[in-house]
Structure 1
């Protein structure tokens, strides 16, 4: 990958899109992870206003620390960057108090995890509306178009996606080029939606390099029968995730009314 040229291309794309849309800049959430670190830096490089939001909901301390360190690094290098912390823990706790109590289950845990992401999305659009900013998405290609590893109308609710045509490994390559701190580059990827230390790999059952391999093999028309052992297992994980999360990745279905019924 021609990393420097890719960076320039994304930065110019971001700037042109915002300018043509008549918007003043960008807002995005900073999680302490690689994707938000790279996306925020690319937004900052446009020279347009870039608002970085910390939105902790009972977050692990190391995630909060990495996010704060990255924001400090950004503000040192880019005068157009500002930041705010919006502690959403009380909002989340109050939400849980007012909804009907249900028995604890895996479904409840997942639903509440998605609720965290949707509270953050609402917060991002609050500030986007106040300042005429665009909400920048932080999803990469294998997450957004491979396994659908994001929350519908949560971190998937954005105005534009600067890194969604980059594989996770390519995001790391760009991070190193941009000078992102080693703490973030070396951190184990996690969505941070459960308030614990479980990683993306723990949830999915495969690493990002493995998922990227499966995505590429799928594009070649391969099937599970073409592999064995761990490769077959990873391929099946990818296909299962891709199939079950297709509702996120495909356009919202619209019920088309036959013309004769409208007469």
Structure 2
């Protein structure tokens, strides 16, 4: 990958899209992970206004520290970057107190995890509306179009996706080129939706390099019977997530009414 040219291309794409939309810039949720770090830096390089928003909800301390380190680096480097913090923990707790929990604990925990992402989406769109900004998505290709590892109408609710055509490994390449903090570069990827330090790999059962491999194999038309051992296991994991999360990746189904009865 020609990293410098990719960076230049994305920055120009972001700037052109924002100017054509008649907005002032971008708002980005910064989590302390590589995807949000790279996305916010790319937005900063446009020279347009960028608001970085930290939105902790019972967040692991390591995530908070990395997010704050990255935001400080950006605001010290780019005059067009500002930041704010919205502690959504009280909002989340108020929500939990207003609904009932029905089902096994795993199901309840997952529903609440997705609620965290949706509260953050709502917060980003609040600031987007306040300052006439676009919500910049932070999803990469394997998450957005491979395993669908994001929350529908949560971190999947965005105006544009600058890094969604890049594999996770390629996002790391951009991160190194953009001098993203070492603490973020070496941290295990995590969605941070459970208030602990569990990684994406802990949840999915496969690493991003493994998922990238499986995505490439699937795109080549490979079948499960062509693999064995760990490769077979990873290929099955990828396909399970890909199938079950199609509802996120495909357009919302519309019931079309026949013209003869409409």
The TM tier, using the shorter chain, reads over 0.9
1:38 corresponding residue in structure 2: 38
Q: CA deviation at 1:102?
A: 3.2
Distance (whole Å) between structure 1 residues aligned to residue 179 and residue 124 of structure 2: 26
CA contact (8 A) 2:11 2:46 kept: yes
Give distance in 2, aligned partners of 1:68 and 1:103: 36
Give the Cα–Cα distance (whole angstroms) in 2 for the partners of residues 249 and 136 of structure 1: 18
Q: Identify the residue that residue 163 of structure 1 maps to in structure 2.
A: 163
TM-score (norm 2): 0.99
Change (3 A) 1:219 1:70: same
RMSD: 0.6
Structure 2 gap segments, 5+ residues each: none
Residue number in structure 2 paired with 1:92: 92
The aligned runs of 1:63-74 (5 Å cut-off) are 63-74=63-74
- Distance verdict in 2 for CA 1:239–1:71, change over 3 Å: same
Q: Which runs of at least 4 in structure 1 moved beyond 3 Å after TM superposition?
A: 101-104
The whole-number CA distance in structure 1 between the counterparts of 2:178 and 2:242 is 31
Q: Spell out, residue by residue over 1:84-136, the C-alpha distance to the aligned partner (whole angstroms, 9 max, x if none).
A: 00000000000000112435511101000000000000000000001110000
The reply to whether residue 253 of structure 1 matches residue 262 of structure 2 is: no
Residue of structure 1 in register with 2:148 after alignment: 148
- How far apart, CA to CA, are the structure 1 residues paired with 2:149 and 2:61? 23
**How many corresponding residue pairs?**
262
Unaligned runs of 5+ in 1: none
Residue of structure 1 equivalent to 2:241: 241
The aligned counterpart of 1:18 is 18
Q: Distance in 1 between matches of 2:187 and 2:79?
A: 27
- Deviation at 1:76? 1.2
Cα distance in 1 between the residues matched to 2:62 and 2:141: 26
Cα distance in 2 between the residues matched to 1:42 and 1:130: 22
